Structure formats: structure tokens, C-alpha cells
Amino acid sequence: MRADRLVAVLLLMQARGRVTAAELAVELEVSVATARRDLEALSAAGVPVYPQPGRGGGWSLVGGARTDLSGLSAPEAQALFLLLGPAAAGSAEAGAALRKLLAALPRTFRADAEAARDATLVDPVPWGERDRPRPETVDLLQTAVVSRRRVRLTYAGPKAEPAERLVDPWGLIDKDDVWYLLAGTDRGRRTFRVDRIVRAEVTGETAERPTGLVLTAAWQEVVDEIEGRRSRTWATVLVEERFVPVLRDRFGRHCHTDGDVGGRVRVRLAAPTPLDLARHLAGWGALIEVVEPRSVRDELARIGAELVARNSGPEPV
């Protein structure tokens, strides 16, 4: 008998005042016999519930007794449903949990909470791109994190053959629809892209987790390290002010304005290498001028010469 189901039964009784075993069976997706056993188990455990036979009967809390297990105020309930509503759209389990919580809220809260649940739709797919399906391995890894079990995985790095590793899973991160596993290994903290995990197996070994680990802080360290590698080459460019928002959208945190020069804005941009910067800027043509470094200017000149050589001759037959 699941304790969480008994809690759900109590919450439903608290919200509705009186329920039948048949109603509970439908709400909790169990048999009528199971729902009746749950009600009897609550009574045997000392919870003040009692049955009323006959037409219009059912099970009730004695004297209208209440056990407020949600403990939510109206604003808290709305905030919770605004946050979880979009997530529940893609998860049957989350949807069922929200329905149960909605039923357990005081009646005066329900209308606003239900409206909050349906107020937001999250479409994670950028314009012109395909949807990234959630890797099936995510569920298995989440189980390992929660149960504190080590995972034996086969991982294929971007430039390496698949290799087997035994890791202590600390947490999962969904960054722009790409999933990462933050884990401890015999070489210290490592980050694994979940879509590169070829195979994963939860072992019976207890996983080690650093004392005081805060997943948000640990992940921020990873982000800072990766973003540092993504900004090893900086360039200064001049561009009209109306194009600055476009550069900010493309380069994100690696785009900084640095004053005006002759009616144009001086902008600092970063990428891993001079070639990466040149590739991003080549399509701008004369709309942008690279002031420095020389390495980026040379790469742009080379790309320009290649384009002219390839496309200025007679049309191919």
C-alpha cells in the first residue's frame, strides 16, 4: 500500500467533504476494492474518517476535520500552478499530480489555480529548427540521482571512442533542450551530455555526493568554465547602432558595446578562434568593420577571396 496514495485520499476528502470508493478509484486510477482498502487503512491508522451508508452516502472526515497538507495560500497556489502547468503538459505523471493538488486546494483557490495552470504554453523549439526529443536515458538517470545509486555508463565523447565509466550522479541539467549529467568520477567532477551516453545501468552501489553540494552553484561553475573556452578570441568591430541588437542576439554574453566612433558603435565580440569569429561576421559584408585583431581580418579576407574565386567565374554546366 503506497503512502503517497493514502495522502492523496486524505487530501481529496479534505477538499470534497465526502467521497465514495468509486469516485476515489476513478481519481486515483485504482480499483474500487483498492480504494475501499485505502479508506479502511486510514480509519485503522486513527484518521477520523467514517462511512455513511445509503443513497448519497460515502466516506467523510469526522466533524469536518481538516488536515491541511498543502499549506498553500492563494498567491502561492497560483505561483505553483503557473510554474508547473507548462511542465505538466508534456508529462502524464505531472498532470496527474497537479490534478490531485488542484482537487485538494480549498474551493476558493481552485478557479484561479486552474486558470494559472492553463495560462502558459512553453514551445521550446526555435523557429526553423526541429524538436529535440528528450533522451530516454534521462528517466533512468533521474532515478539514480534520487536513489543515490552509482551508474555504469558507456560514453562517446565528441572526439573519442565509446568508453565505460562508473560515476556518482549528482544531478541533471536541461540547458536549452540539451540534457547534461553532472557527476563525480575517479578524476573528479565531470559533465556528460546525455545524448552521447550509449548505454547506462544503475548499479546497487551507493553513490557518493559531496557534503553541502548545491547543484545550481556546481553547474554555474561548469557554465563559467565552458563560456570561458568559448570566448578565447575577442575582436573589436564598428557597426551602425541599429544592428547592435542583432549582434547581442547572436553573441549573447560575448557581446559588449564600447562607445561611439564616428556615428557607429564600437562593439567587442568573442568566439573560440579567429576563424569562428570570421565565419560569423562574413555574411555581414560591408555593414561591419573589424578593427582588430589582425588574425580575424586575415580570416575574413581569406573567406572573401575564396567566395570570389568560387562564384565569380562562368556558371557551372
Which alpha helices (DSSP H) does 231-293 contain, by range? 244-251, 274-281
What's the CA gap between 171 and 181, in Å, rounded? 6
The number of residues in the chain equals 317
In the DSSP assignment, the letter for residue 156 is -
The number of beta carbons lying within 10 Å of the beta carbon of residue 272 is: 12
What's the CA gap between 56 and 143, in Å, rounded? 43
Q: Which of 104, 12, 5 is nearest to 49 (CA)?
A: 12
- Tell me, yes or no, if the pTM score tops 0.75: no
Q: Please answer whether residues 49 and 42 qualify as being in contact, where contact means their C-beta atoms are separated by less than 8 angstroms.
A: yes
pLDDT of residue 72: 62
Q: Please answer whether residues 39 and 86 qualify as being in contact, where contact means their C-beta atoms are separated by less than 8 angstroms.
A: no
Q: In what order do the strands lie in the sheet with 58-61?
A: 18-19, 58-61, 49-52
Please give the single-letter amino acid code of residue 169: P
pLDDT of residue 313: 73
- Residue by residue, pLDDT tens for the chain (317 residues) are 455 667 677 777 777 778 888 888 888 777 788 888 888 877 776 667 778 777 667 888 765 545 454 566 667 677 777 777 776 666 677 777 777 777 777 777 778 888 888 888 777 777 888 888 888 899 899 999 999 999 999 999 887 789 999 999 999 999 888 999 999 999 999 999 999 999 999 999 999 999 988 999 999 999 999 999 999 999 999 999 999 999 999 999 999 999 998 889 999 999 999 999 999 999 999 999 999 999 999 999 999 999 998 888 777 66
What's the CA gap between 147 and 10, in Å, rounded? 27
Please give the single-letter amino acid code of residue 25: A
In the DSSP assignment, the letter for residue 124 is -
Three cell numbers at 229? Answer: 573556452
Q: Please answer whether residues 78 and 112 qualify as being in contact, where contact means their C-beta atoms are separated by less than 8 angstroms.
A: yes
